[in-house]
């Protein structure tokens, strides 16, 4: 997304309305693709869904809901009720996922040193 964001910003100079649609819809598509990849990989390789993969999937679905709600709030209904929810919700979800991954990595290293194999 680091390569797409500058393109979206350049698009905003041309048409702000199209850029807004593209911004929200690109994030919705990215998170939806992430969920589909997680499901597809687990199904293809017959992996069990760990708590971490379930958490990441739930977070992506939450982001899709949040992005869609903000798009509808801002562009379709013109109510602009959700800016604070969006402003704090997106970073909160991202920080929570990053924290869960770090905690999972630390616990995996500790368990590996103890010789314990645990699926989180």
Residue 119 lies in a domain: no
Residue 109 lies in a domain: yes
- Count of CB atoms within 10 A of residue 73's CB? 17
What is the C-alpha separation between 45 and 118, in angstroms, rounded?
19
- Write the pLDDT tens digit of every residue in 14-67: 677 777 788 889 999 999 999 999 999 999 999 999 999 999 999 999 999 999
What is the C-alpha separation between 28 and 30, in angstroms, rounded?
6
Please tell me the pTM assigned to this model. 0.79
Q: Is the separation of the CB atoms in 71 and 29 below 8 Å?
A: no
Residue 101 lies in a domain: yes
Q: Is the pLDDT of residue 1 over 80?
A: no
Name the residue range of residue 13's domain: 4-114
Three-state secondary structure call for residue 110: helix
| C-alpha pair distances (Å), 9 with each of 20, 46, 55, 76 | 10, 41, 31, 21
Residue 24 lies in a domain: yes
Supply the DSSP string of 42-67, one letter for each residue: HHHTT----HHHHHHHHHHHHHHHHH
Residue 120 lies in a domain: no
What's the domain count of the chain? 1
Residue 69 lies in a domain: yes
Q: Is the pLDDT of residue 88 over 90?
A: yes
- Give the angle subtended at the CA of 60 by the CAs of 16 and 87, to the nearest 5°: 45
**Confidence category of residue 12, pLDDT binned at 50, 70, 90:** low
Q: Is the pLDDT of residue 100 over 90?
A: yes
Three-state secondary structure call for residue 93: helix
């Amino acid at each position: 997304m680091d390569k797409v964001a500058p393109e979206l910003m350049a698009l905003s100079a041309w048409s702000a309305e199209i850029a807004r649609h593209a911004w929200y819809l690109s994030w919705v598509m990215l998170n939806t693709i992430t969920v589909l990849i997680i499901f597809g990989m687990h199904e293809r390789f017959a992996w069990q869904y760990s708590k971490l993969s379930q958490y990441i999937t739930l977070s992506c679905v939450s982001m899709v809901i949040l992005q869609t709600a903000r798009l509808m709030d801002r562009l379709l209904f013109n109510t602009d009720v959700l800016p604070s929810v969006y402003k704090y919700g997106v970073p909160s979800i991202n920080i929570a996922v990053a924290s869960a991954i770090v905690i999972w990595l630390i616990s995996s290293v500790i368990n590996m040193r103890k010789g314990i194999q645990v699926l989180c």
